[in-house]
Amino acid sequence: MLLQTVPARRGLQWALMGMRTFWRQPLAMTGLFFLFMALVSVLSILPMVGGLIALVLMPSFTAGLMAATQTAHEGRFPMPGTLWSALRTPTQRMAMLRLGLLYACGFMLLMGASALVDGGQFARVYLGGEALSPEVVQSDRFQSAMWLTMALYAPLSMVFWHAPALVFWQQVPPVKSLFFSWMACWRNKAAFAVYLLVWAGVFGAATLGAMIAASLLGDAQMTLSILMPLALLVAAMFFTSMLFTVKDCFSVSEPQLA
């Protein structure tokens, strides 16, 4: 396995390849993304440990979505069971769960940092323990905690971006996968900047489209009703594109799917 450096323009290609692959199997990829969201949501509402379990399983589900992308890219229909393909064998399961524990620890440290700013209000809202009100959103402390969390989540994302695929397909040890993921993101930061700008533009276009549609219908309150399904569709395409960032950043063997 060799780390590769790609030109900035590859960021656009990653996004386009994700979109093309998504539209090869739109029903399957949309259904799998909704299943992923539903599982995380259900786990998160379980009392006491639900949120922690959801965090631990996030890398496994991410690897499952990448496996589904590979299947769709090959022109085949990914089945629902593909979502937990990273947990099928005992060896893979233990490695992925270790990676998940590392992710959960990193995320909770991030939430802890935000709590130092606003006493934990943002963390309680984000983790589903407290209702969100206009007064809370407009609070200076809440907004400071939110921006701090976003700033800290960027390096956390870089550390874990490639890790699920490296652990699942290349049997890289979880801790070592974090180092490789960070280096891949850092060495290809120009391509990732283009990649994220493309997806920001796609989401912005979806938002504008929802506003225009609501205006034509003569009901501004419908904007959110139109935007939500569009946003979920864009999110599903975004997750579909993640596999191609891994394939370009590493010279590795093709994923072998069960």
Could you read off the pLDDT of 159-188 as tens digits, one per residue?
A: 999 999 999 999 999 999 999 999 999 999
As beta bridge partners, residue 251 has: 2
Of 18-27, 112-121, 217-226, 228-237, the range with the lowest mean pLDDT is 217-226
Could you read off the pLDDT of 10-48 as tens digits, one per residue?
A: 999 999 999 999 999 999 999 999 999 999 888 878 776
CB 99 within 8 A of CB 59: yes
Among candidate residues 72, 66, 100, 92, the one with its CA nearest the CA of residue 250:
66
Is the pTM value of this prediction over 0.95? Answer: no
DSSP H/E element including 2: strand 2-3
CB 164 within 8 A of CB 63: yes
Place of tokens 């539903």: 38
Amino acid occupying residue 118: D
Residue 218 has a CB neighbour count (10 Å cut-off) of 7
DSSP H/E element including 250: strand 250-251
Could you read off the pLDDT of 196-205 as tens digits, one per residue?
A: 999 999 999 9
What is the distance between the alpha carbons of residues 185 and 182, in angstroms, rounded to a whole number? 5
Of 3-17, 139-153, 213-227, the range with the lowest mean pLDDT is 213-227
**Burial class of 172 by CB neighbour count within 10 A (0 to 12, 13 to 18, 19+):** buried
CB 125 within 8 A of CB 132: yes
CA distances (Å), origin 28, targets 78, 147, 168, 226, 258: 6, 35, 22, 22, 17
* Structure token digits, residue 91: 């060896």
- Give 104-171 as a DSSP string: HHHHHHHHHHHHHHHTTHHHHHHTTSS---HHHHT-HHHHHHHHHHHHHHHHHHHHHSSHHHHHHHH-
CA distances (Å), origin 256, targets 85, 100, 249: 11, 22, 18
With DSSP H G I counted as helix, E B as strand and the rest as coil, what are the percentages for the chain, rounded to 5?
A: 80, 0, 20
What is the distance between the alpha carbons of residues 208 and 218, in angstroms, rounded to a whole number? 15
* Structure token digits, residue 219: 């009901």
